[in-house]
């Protein structure tokens, strides 16, 4: 009798697991791409969320600049090379992301001779804050 109960219990668990799996088909589950603890986020009652796109032709680059708040970059196509003052350059490829810290002097490049670079940036700031501040 114990063997029969054990079999029924195991079969029930197996059946329930397959039903849960069947119910989950077609349900999109987000995949974590980047998780980072950052400093310097806005603390006011309201924040402005910005999502921007940028397209770089071969050898294009950004201004030498800083951001008042962290900015996250997601590369859609190509490779983005980020040079930050006092740090080694970092290259982020299509499907990857990086968070750029606040108040660090930086510039970004498309180092390719032939490939376009397309990226999306995300940032949260105090309302009306400039996206970037050129450094001269």
DSSP per-residue string spanning 119-135: EEEEEEESTT--S-EE-
**Tokens at 95, concatenated:** 């499907």
Q: Percentage of the chain with pLDDT > 70?
A: 83
Residue 56: inside a domain: yes
By the 8 A CB rule, do 87 and 125 touch? Answer: no
Number of domains in the chain: 1
- State residue 70's pLDDT score: 97
Residue 85, in any domain of the structure: yes
Region 85-92: mean pLDDT is 97
The verdict on residue 94 lying in a domain is yes
Residue 15 in any domain: the answer is: no
Domain membership flag for residue 52: yes
**Residue 100: which domain range?**
48-134
Q: Give the pTM.
A: 0.79
Q: How confident is residue 24, by pLDDT bands cut at 50, 70 and 90?
A: confident
Judged by average pLDDT, the poorest of 13-27, 29-43, 69-83, 87-101 is: 13-27
Section 11-23 average pLDDT: 52
Dist. CA 75–CA 6, nearest whole Å: 52
| Domain annotation covers residue 66 | yes
Above pLDDT 90, what percent of the chain?
79
pLDDT exceeds 60 at position 21: no
CATH assignment of the domain containing 105: 2.60.120.10
Decide if 32 is inside a domain.
no
Asked if pLDDT for residue 22 goes beyond 90, the answer is no
Residue 15 pLDDT > 60: no
In angstroms, the CA 39 to CA 34 distance is 16
The answer on pLDDT for 19 being more than 60 is no
Q: Is residue 26 part of a domain?
A: no
């Amino acid at each position: 009798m114990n063997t029969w109960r054990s079999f029924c219990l195991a079969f029930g668990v197996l059946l329930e697991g397959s039903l849960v799996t069947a119910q989950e088909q077609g349900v999109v589950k987000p995949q974590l791409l980047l998780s980072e603890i950052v400093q310097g986020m806005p603390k006011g009652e309201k924040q402005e969320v910005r999502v921007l796109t940028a397209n770089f032709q071969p050898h294009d680059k950004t201004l030498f600049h800083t951001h008042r708040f962290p900015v996250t970059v997601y590369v859609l196509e190509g490779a983005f090379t980020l040079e930050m003052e006092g740090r080694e350059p970092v290259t982020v490829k299509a499907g990857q992301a990086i968070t750029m810290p606040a108040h660090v002097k930086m510039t970004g490049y498309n180092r390719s001779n032939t490939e376009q670079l397309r990226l999306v940036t995300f940032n949260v700031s105090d309302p009306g804050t400039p996206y970037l501040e050129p450094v001269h």
